[in-house]
Amino acid sequence: MVSPPVLDLSDDVVRLAAALCDLPSVSGSETALADAIEEALAGCGHLTLDRDGDALVARTTLGRGRRVVIAGHIDTVPVKENLPTRLVGGELWGRGTVDMKSGVAVMLHLAARLTEPAWDVTWVFYDHEEVDYTKNGLGRVARKHPKWLKGDFAILMEPTAAQIEGGCNGTMLVEIGMGGITAHSARAWRGLNAIHSMAEILTTLRDYRAREVEVDGLVYLESLSAVGIHGGIATNMVPDLCTLTINYRFAPSTSVEEALEHLEEVFSPYILDLKDAVAGARPGLDDPLVAEFVAAVTASGAEVGPKYGWTDVARFSELGIPAVNYGPGDPMLAHADDERCPTSQIHACADALANWLTKGE
């Protein structure tokens, strides 16, 4: 049996981030990294450790009045000649530095260091975030071991450039199909072109004006986009079928049912085929514990804004736990070949979380 690589949790948080990234863990291949994290956390006597597959949950049990859940995923998208990591001009370059192993490094660094936090803390390291929704390790833990995730407030270490991004938009995929009549393209008038019939819907999409929706003091910008179109039989035939795939990103104050009703109004009288839909999450900034966290982090210069994309904060919302996104790295560089994270943001997140979790002591 091969021993897992050794992670030194007492090391500088940036060097720890580099070590995590240099151990590849593309979705579906997280076991070696999960083993290394488990081995490292096993030496922390103040933590209770549980594991499900390649997801690990480490908890303090100090009997505090409140519990904070801090979560991050350990998998990445495929490596593309951007490992091993390298440090260039104050930035850590390489796959996973943004999404989201720098955030995971902050978690591990603090999980080992903070033996007497002001609140009990649950640290969640989970697998399969970068693939199909149903495979997500956080979702699996929520289904199988909901007590492991019990808490009053959650922080997801999504890359936010060390700013706070509250909640997240919901997301929906629908398809619209158009039928036609096949004919030889040299005698196109004998058929009905299904692709051409999509013109009115495409015009509707082009002219659509996205809504801006204020939720708990944050303004969420929605979006409606064609993300795929399929049709055609051969280059000398009029197609008799065309399918358009549409993605709708909707504000967290809107339910899945309301989002679908809105699309049915927009595209009436066409029939929509709902393929996938996930509700968003309200930012919950009016919750006292969330407000305390926001006040502590913004005091050091961070700002608060909305999260336009969907993130796993929505899973915490389903559990009745208010959650925010907060982590190092520019989200615009997530999954990029030139993925890189400023070391200043890694230190900023580590310091801000440490100060808040110890009430500045």
The catalytic residues are: 75, 129
Nearest Cα neighbor of 280 from 170, 143, 201, 166 is: 170
Q: Give the CA angle between residues 134, 140, 142 to the nearest 5°.
A: 120
* H runs (alpha helix) in the chain: 13-21, 31-41, 101-113, 137-144, 199-207, 256-266, 288-298, 313-318, 343-357
CA distances from 132 to 18, 55, 73 (A): 27, 16, 14
Under 8 Å between Cβ of 93 and 338: yes
Size of the chain in residues: 361
Under 8 Å between Cβ of 117 and 55: no
CA distances from 253 to 170, 211, 213 (A): 9, 12, 8
Residues in contact with 196: Cβ distance below 8 Å, sequence separation at least 6, in sequence order: none
> Could you give the CA distance from residue 36 to residue 51 in angstroms, rounded to a whole number?
13
| Residue ranges of E strands in 148-263 | 153-156, 164-166, 170-179, 183-184, 212-215, 218-221, 223-231, 237-238, 241-250
